[in-house]
């Protein structure tokens, strides 16, 4: 996604990869969490490119990491995957509510 100037142009890169560069498997829990590694596109890049907004962006985030996140406090992997999918559903339902109640642009 290209920077078009304005206030967003002042936001630092925060360690994100240059546009077009493939994601590497190096472990970095802040900039490249392992549950998003090994993909051709970073989830945040997809969300921003599609202008999905908060609710749909979070739904995509949780769907993308479902079954991949390894730090589950006392949960087994299936429980954590189900939790992530339920979170995605919650955000999708929230977006539907916004649309139905005219709470969005």
How does residue 30 score in pLDDT terms, banded at 50, 70 and 90? low
Determine the average pLDDT of the residues in 68-92.
Answer: 86
Average pLDDT over residues 47-75: 88
CB 60, CB 43: distance < 8 Å: yes
Question: What pTM value is reported for the model?
Answer: 0.65
Q: Can you tell me whether residue 104 is helix, strand or coil?
A: coil
- By CB atoms closer than 10 A (0-12, 13-18, 19+), residue 92 is middle
Rounded (5°) CA angle 87-56-20: 115
Mean pLDDT to the nearest integer, 49-78: 87
- Please tell me the predicted confidence (pLDDT) of residue 1: 41
Q: What is the signed CA dihedral for 27, 18, 38, 33, rounded to 10 degrees?
A: 40
The separation between CA 90 and the C-alpha centre of its own chain, rounded to angstroms, equals 15
Please give the mean pLDDT across all residues of the chain: 76
What pLDDT score does 77 carry? 86
Is the pLDDT score of 57 beyond 60? yes
Q: Could you tell me if 70 and 37 are in contact, meaning their C-beta atoms sit under 8 angstroms apart? A: no
């Amino acid at each position: 996604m290209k920077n078009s100037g304005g206030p967003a142009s002042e936001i630092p890169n925060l360690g994100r990869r240059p546009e077009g560069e493939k994601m590497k498997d190096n472990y970095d829990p802040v900039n490249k969490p392992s549950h998003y590694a090994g993909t051709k596109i970073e989830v945040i890049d997809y969300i921003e490119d599609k202008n999905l907004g908060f609710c749909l962006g979070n739904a995509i985030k949780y769907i993308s990491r479902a079954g991949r996140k390894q730090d589950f406090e006392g949960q087994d992997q299936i429980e954590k995957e189900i939790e992530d999918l339920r979170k995605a559903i919650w955000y999708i339902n929230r977006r539907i509510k916004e649309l139905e109640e005219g709470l969005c642009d």
